[in-house]
Structure 1
């Protein structure tokens, strides 16, 4: 895991495309642009985990995955449990995503204190109308809290 965004960018885009960059800059640039959203989704996920650490004053928030599940945000100790999803897509997160997350918590036998949903495209009206106080819907502007 790279701690430097420059190093991450270098090894994700520049080093693997070194020859292409030297020989055909326009094609190399287009290749980077075409894959940039996928790259940003990972950065957004890392930022969401860091947000959770700052918001709840906890450490080692990460992702978790297994054969039948994957969660972008995971933290669990004896006193506190956090589970979340991060979506960097061109569509809003809907109630279905929350329900899937709740089912993952059941599968993992977790008593979740907060469900954290991060979206760069917003949330459906049905999800926002959810009156559950342990569901936090955050967007890219939420990072301002810790700047």
Structure 2
């Protein structure tokens, strides 16, 4: 399995990254997920993402390796942005490539659920009322629990 992991401030191109995987003869499916900065009904002005350099990439690599043990993946690309982001900016790109769509879909969900819970990223949201660090969400923990229970 070919793995690309990047943590960067610069934006990324879904089309460029997709083209690197879609032309491979063994690939029958590429599932793409792009996470965006979304407004929390009329109150979010932007966000800042911080991470632990070196450790973040290592943890992302472990998550991708676990997915590769569960599903027959040809390639995985994870690009996660850090720094100052505005509404509608791209935050994360995840591409999973496999011979079959079921593996690509499942691996994509698995990687994102683990990333949201285990990757060392910290998010600070800026609103008209100021800035505050975001706590972990129960919904993210529940999404992860299904993989921990063997589903």
Which band: TM-score by shorter chain?
0.3 to 0.5
Query: Normalising by the residue count of structure 2, what TM-score does the alignment of the two structures yield?
Result: 0.32
Higher strand share: 2
Higher-Rg member (1/2): 1
Q: Which has the higher contact order (CA 8 A, sep 6+)?
A: 2
Higher helix share: 1
